Every structure is written in structure tokens, then in C-alpha cells.
Amino acid sequence: MTSPFADQKMITLTNLQKTFPSRGAGAPVTALADIDLTIERGEIFGVIGRSGAGKSTLLRTINLLESPSSGSVRVDDVEMTALSPKELREARHSIGMIFQHFNLLSSRTVFDNVALPLELAGVAKPVIRQTVEPLLDLVGLTDKRDRYPSELSGGQKQRVGIARALASKPKVLLSDEATSALDPETTTQILHLLADINRRLGLTIVLITHEIGVIKEICHKVAVMEAGRVIEQGPVFDIFAHPTHPTTRSFVDPVINRGIPDGLRARLSPTPQPGANPVLRITFTGEKATSPVISAISRQLNLDLNIWHGQIDEIQGAPFGTLVVEALGDDTAVEAAISLLNVNHLGVEVLGYALPANH
Amino acid sequence: MLSPQIIDLLIKALIDTLHMVAVSGAIGTLIGLPIGVALAVTGRGELLQNLVFNRIVGAVVNMTRSTPFIILVVAIIPFTRLIAGTSIGTSAAIVPLTVAAAPFIARIVENAIREVDRGLIEAAQAMGATPFQIVTKVLLPEAMPAIAMGLTLSAVSLIGYSAMVGAVGGGGLGDLGIRYGYQRFLPEVMLAVVVVLIVLVQIVQSTGDWIARRVNKRHLKV
């Protein structure tokens, strides 16, 4: 998905390294290694990884809460690593941040929490009011303005966090596992709010998560991290449709159900067997997801295709289908079918060979 | 029953005690609060880590805290004379009480601030807050319930300590109890002093608890 400002870079991380000195005798711990990422203006960029993968450190290098050991961090054409402490504080005013545990001040009301970044910047009281009130409206908390965080639900707290992050009119919003402490329904609401803000304000959002559902729901691009490295990155649709790294597959498989039912899986042999038919997984992307290619193959090649499993998903508004079929025909017909699918730019892979069902 | 003279003495002693506790508590807070903040923010891995400063100030605080109060009172008589112009009387007694209260309060403030969620500091840093703003806008307001409880504890301790300043002619309820109740063997005076002290401590504690509850917005709804 292309943003209206696709040619403009908002965040560029170049050859980023971060090592933490070891506690005691061991070797230093590498948190980030050879990170190169470009995040475009107006984009929702997701970083996914398991805990300890380095995604939190990566996010914190963008506003230099974590200073990289080496490498370059450019945000809106400003080299963050070269700033003086004062300049850095100034630059942080244009980078909002939200957190897994909200990090709201318990001693301040909803209004005063949202006003905090403005107070810190020395904004005059009437201007603060003019800024905060529309934000409370945006996140739907106008009626809670004089409540304290302990009187709010998790979702409401995160809405306060979002309003607070937006108060200084940032160009970038960093989201640190912002929905990980919320229930699924609230997660969806918060994600929709973020997507809405992204569209309405053209705000660039960088979010980290360990939940692939979050990526699928709102991200335009995704980077997958493991052991401090980005192992795969690209448009969300492409990564979901063609995950190459095993870790990426393990994230993607559960949500788009590329797998096949266990009962059928038990009949699969990885190598050709006498009397066993090849089982193919065909993936359809974009407009091809709706074209009648299967029946065409069946007709042209006189090949029976026994459908095992099929599914059509939608990722970022584009249809994405998978079909698992057992090909009942001779080897040459199967070969021909595979090449025909390839010619049509459909993804095809041989999952294995189906042994006859037990009777 | 108590004679009118004794009641007069009791009232004067109560006023002396309140005077000593209030002044030493107030000055002790003025000195202890910034020291406590400084100790909290200069510790390892903290906002303005400065281990040399932290260790030196920490050692001074510990020295004062580990000296038994009655010894402190006597040991710092020259200092007391320098500050108060005399080493005898209620005003003089305020000096050792303050010297004892300040480090106590400093530790209480330090602990209260260290208990503030680190995520709040990170959030404030992400907003571009200066270290001074983080202290004044985040750490102190968030630590206020714990500080209020701690100051109440300090006030109660000071009431106890103030009983010992009779050693330097400090006056107050403790002094009255020792001189009339114990040395002149007037058990009814001793009892009256104890009752007044109990009531005083109760009032201080209840007021402190009430204030701490008022400033604590953390558990408004379960």
C-alpha cells in the first residue's frame, strides 16, 4: 500500500548497532546488529519479533531513549545522534510515544495527563486548553476529562496515552506494545483509532508488537526481527503471502491458516511413494485470488484436483487465498500443472505426497 | 487531681513540644527533601547518575542516622551554640532535632521517589522533559502519597525525640514527665504527660493518613 508521500523518508536507520556491556565477566550483549530500515512519511510500520528480539531497543533508538553504539538515526532529516541534550529534547517534542503499560501519571487527571507535554514545553494555559480538548474528543474521552487514571479501564488509559502523545503535534508516533495489555476487543478498537489517526493526521506510526494480528490489522509495512537483526521486511501483503524466513512463517501461519488439517497432514509423506499423489499448495494474491484457474487446469490437462483445504483472507484490503489440492493424475500432467500455475504467477509448492487413506 | 499550676505547666510543655516538632520538622523537610531527591536521582542507573556524590552524601546521612539521638544532642552542642546562640532551651533543642530529622526525611523522600514507576520517567523523557521537570512534574507529585506518610512518621518520631531534649533544658512534655513525674515522683503528672502524648501522636497520625489519602489518586476504583 502506497502512502501519498511515498517518496519522502521520515525515519532512516542506517547500519545501527547496539551492544550492552555485560554484567560481570561474559561477552557484551548484542541488542541490535546491522539494522537498516527506511520508514516513509505517513506509513504505519510494524516491527514484530518475540521477546528479546531487540524490537523494543530498536523503537527506543528512534527517539534516542536508547542511544545506539554506532550507526545513524535520521528522523525528518535530522541526525538524532548528533544532537545536543537540549536539541534532543526539542526534537522529542515531534516524536510522540505510547506504552504497553500506558505510563500515565496517577496524580493527574485525564486532562492534566494530556496537557503534560505542553506544560513541559512551556505552552500557555489557554493554548493548552484549546489543544487538549479536541484531543480528548478525538479519543472519545471528553466525559472523563476530570477523572484519574485509576478510574479508567485499560482501553481508556491507552486512549489517554494516545491523546497525550498527540498533544505536541508530533510527526511520528512510536508505539511500544501499546495493545499487549488489552483484551482482544479493546485491542481492535485501539488499533482502529491508530489507523484513523494515521489517515486523518498523516502521522507516521512505528509500532512494535509480538502479535501478528496487530500487523495484519493496520500495518502497511513490516519488519521481522530475531536476535537483534531484521530478518525480513517489506509490504505486509508480500510478507504474509510469501514469508521466506522460518520465523516469519511461524508468525504468519496461525493467522492466515496456510496450514492443513491435522487428519490430512497425517497422510502426507515428504517423499514420493508408490500410489501416493502429490499435494500442492497454491497461493493466490491480488485479483488472481478470484480467477477460475483451478477449473481451467483441470480441463486443459485432464487432471483431477481433489480439494483438501481452501481459504481466502484479506490483508490490507487485498484478497489473499490459499488452496491445498491433491493432484490425481500422472507425473507429466502434474508437472504441466505446476508450470502452468507458475506461468500465471501463482505461488505453488509441493507439500508432500498423499498416501491412500486408511480403511 | 492535677493542680492548676501543673495544668499550666502541662499546657506550656505541650506548646513547647509543638513548637520544637513543628519548627524542626519544617526545617528538616526543607533540608531533607532536596537531599532525598538528590540521593534518588544520582543513584546507579538513575536520571543523573553521580556515584561519588551519592556515596558521600549517603555516608553523611548514614552517620547522622546511626548516632543515638541523645548522643547527637550532646555531641553537637558547639554547633547548636553557633546556630542558636545558646545551648539551652527550646530554641537550642530545635537544632539537634532538625539535624536528626533532615537525614531521616531525606531517606524517606529517596525511597518514595525510587518507588515511582520507571515507565513514567521514560515517558517524560520521551516528551522532552528536562531532569528538573521530571523531578518537579513527575517524581515529586507521584511520590507525594509516600512522602506524606513518611513525613507523618517523621513527625511522630520527632515527638518521641523531643522528650530527650530535656537533657539540654529543651522543655516540652518529655521534660515535664521526667522532672515532675519521675524525679519529684508525681505519678499523676507522668500519666497526664503520657495521655497528652498519646492523643498528640494519634492526631498527627490521623491527619497524616488523611492527607496521604487525599493526595493518593492511585486506588480510586478497583
CA distances from B125 to A78, A117, A118, A311, B205 (A): 19, 10, 13, 47, 36
Query: Which pLDDT score is estimated for A266?
Result: 77
Segment A19-40 mean pLDDT: 87
User: Do A97 and B126 form a contact (C-beta atoms < 8 A)?
Assistant: yes
CATH of the domain at B71: 1.10.3720.10
Whether residue B137 is contained in a domain is answered as yes
Q: How far apart are CA A89 and CA A108, in angstroms?
A: 22
> Could you tell me the pLDDT band of residue B155, with boundaries at 50, 70 and 90?
very high
Classify residue B7: in a domain, yes or no.
no
pLDDT in tens, B199-222: 999 999 999 999 999 999 887 754
B201, part of any domain: no
The shortest C-alpha distance from B211 to chain A (Å) reads 14
d(CA A105, CA B218): 9
Q: Which stretches of A21-156 are assigned E, i.e. beta strand?
A: 29-40, 44-48, 70-75, 78-79, 95-99
Mean pLDDT, all residues of chain A: 88
Residue A293 pLDDT > 80: no
pLDDT-based confidence at residue A259 (cuts at 50, 70, 90): low
Q: What is the CA radius of gyration of chain B?
A: 20
Which residues contact residue A148 at a Cβ distance below 8 angstroms, ignoring those fewer than 6 apart?
A: A106, A107, A108, A109, A110, B217, B220
CATH superfamily, domain at A262-354: ACT domain (3.30.70.260)
A174–B126 C-beta distance less than 8 A: yes
What ipTM goes with this model?
0.88
CB nearest to B127's CB, from A92, A101, A108: A92
Q: A238 and A248 in contact (C-beta within 8 Å)?
A: no
Nearest CA distance, A108 vs chain B (angstrom): 8
Q: Residue B196 falls within a domain, yes or no?
A: no
Q: Any idea which fold A9-255 has?
A: Rossmann fold (3.40.50)
The reply to whether B198 falls in a domain is no
pLDDT at residue number A275: 80
Q: Is B131 on the interface with A (CB under 8 A)?
A: no
Give me the pLDDT at residue A256, please: 67
What is the separation, in whole angstroms, between the first and last Cα of chain A? 49
Map out the domains of chain A as residue ranges: 9-255, 262-354
Contact B177, B16 (CB under 8 A): no
Confidence of residue A2 (pLDDT cuts 50, 70, 90): very low
Query: Rounded mean pLDDT of A101-124?
Result: 96
| Closest CA–CA distance from residue B75 to any residue of chain A (Å) | 42
Q: What is the pLDDT of residue A258?
A: 58
pLDDT above 60: residue A1: no
**CB pair distance less than 8 Å for B219 and A151:** no
- Yes or no, beta carbons of A106 and B128 under 8 Å apart: no
In whole angstroms, give the CA distance from residue B179 to residue A359.
105
Instruction: Give domain status of residue B60, yes or no.
Output: yes
Q: Judge whether B183 lies within some domain.
A: no
Contacts of B220 in chain A (CB under 8 A): 148, 150-151
Task: Judge: A103–B220 Cβ closer than 8 Å, yes or no.
Answer: no
pLDDT on residue A3 = 46
Q: Among B188, B108, B97, which residue's Cα sits nearest to residue B151?
A: B108
**Which of the residues B125, B127, B144 would you substitute to probe the A interface, choosing the one with the greatest number of A C-beta atoms within 10 Å?**
B127
B119 CB near a chain A CB, below 8 Å? yes
Confidence check: pLDDT of B105 > 50: yes
The verdict on a CB contact (< 8 Å) between A107 and B137 is no
Model confidence band, residue B1 (pLDDT cutoffs 50, 70, 90): low
Closest among A12, A16, A10 to A43, alpha carbons compared: A10
Per-residue pLDDT of B27-70, as tens digits, reads: 999 999 999 999 999 999 899 999 999 999 999 999 998 999 98
User: Residue A290 has what pLDDT?
Assistant: 58
d(CA A116, CA A120): 6
Q: Which residue of B lies nearest to A109 if distances are taken between CA atoms?
A: B217
Can you point out the beta strands (E) in chain A? 9-20, 29-40, 44-48, 70-75, 78-79, 95-99, 172-176, 204-209, 221-226, 229-235, 268-269, 277-285, 304-315, 318-328, 347-354
The verdict on a CB contact (< 8 Å) between B123 and A150 is: no
Name the least confident of A65-69, A84-88, A274-278, B196-200: A274-278
The count of structural domains within chain B is 1
Residues of B in contact with A92 (CB under 8 A): 125-128
Range of the domain at B135: 19-172
Do residue B128 and residue A174 have CB atoms under 8 angstroms apart?
Answer: no
CB count within 10 Å of CB A78 equals: 15
Whether residue B139 is contained in a domain is answered as yes
Q: Do B117 and A103 make contact, defined as CB atoms within 8 angstroms?
A: yes
Does residue A5 have a pLDDT over 50?
no
For the stretch A298-327, pLDDT in tens is: 888 888 888 888 877 777 777 778 888 888
pLDDT digits (tens, 9 = 90+) for A51-85: 889 999 999 999 999 999 999 999 999 999 999 99
Q: 3-class SS at A273?
A: coil
Interface probe for B, chosen from A23, A84, A90, A106 (most Cβ of B below 10 Å), is A106
pLDDT at B193 over 60: yes
More confident residue, B104 or A276: B104
**pTM of this structure:** 0.84
What pLDDT score does A26 carry? 76
At A210-227, the pLDDT tens digits run 999 999 989 999 999 999
Q: Which residues of A touch B (CB under 8 A)?
A: 63, 65, 88-93, 95-97, 99, 101, 103, 105-108, 116-117, 119-121, 148-151, 168, 174
Phi-psi region of A54 (alpha: psi -120 to 50; beta: other; left: phi over 0): left
Average the pLDDT over A287-307 and give the result: 77
Least CA distance to A91: which residue of chain B? B128
CA distance B5 to B172: 16
**For the segment A136-177, what is each residue's pLDDT rounded down to a tens digit?**
999 999 999 999 999 999 999 999 999 999 999 999 999 999
Residue from A287, A282, A346 nearest A318 by CA: A287
